[in-house]
Amino acid sequence: MRYMWYTNAWAAGWGSAYCEGIGDDEGAALMADLSAMFRESDTLFTGIIQAYDREGSWNPDDLDQLQLTVDEIGRLYAALQGEDEPLRSSE
């Protein structure tokens, strides 16, 4: 799972540089935000797993923060695709 966060952070960072290179400033900004959200998700996810290994339980506040970050990633993807709202996995 952690590899997914890292890979997406790298890809979004590359996408930001590419968009900037072709003059798509809005796309570059969205991709830079996506890269930052993936890095934040990696940090949160790692902390959650390490805390579980130490304490044997999940911290609801950390899980909520991770969910908010994942929701923001969905919003940013929707914005990249020109949509108002992201699709939910339950839809």
Q: Is residue 89 part of a domain?
A: no
Q: Please give the pLDDT value at position 88.
A: 54
Dist. CA 14–CA 30, nearest whole Å: 12
Tokens representing 84 are 């108002």
pLDDT tens digits for range 2-43: 667 778 888 888 888 999 999 999 989 999 999 999 999 889
Q: Is residue 51 part of a domain?
A: yes
> Per the structure, how many domains does the chain have?
1
Q: Provide mean pLDDT across the span 85-90.
A: 54
Q: Is residue 50 part of a domain?
A: yes
pLDDT tens digits for range 53-85: 999 988 899 999 999 999 998 898 888 888 766
Q: Is residue 66 part of a domain?
A: yes
Q: Is residue 88 part of a domain?
A: no
Q: Is residue 53 part of a domain?
A: yes
Q: Which stretches within the chain are classed as H helix?
A: 2-21, 25-55, 60-80
Structural domain containing residue 74: 2-80
Max Cα–Cα distance, the chain, nearest Å: 49
Dist. CA 75–CA 87, nearest whole Å: 9
Q: Please give the pLDDT value at position 91.
A: 45
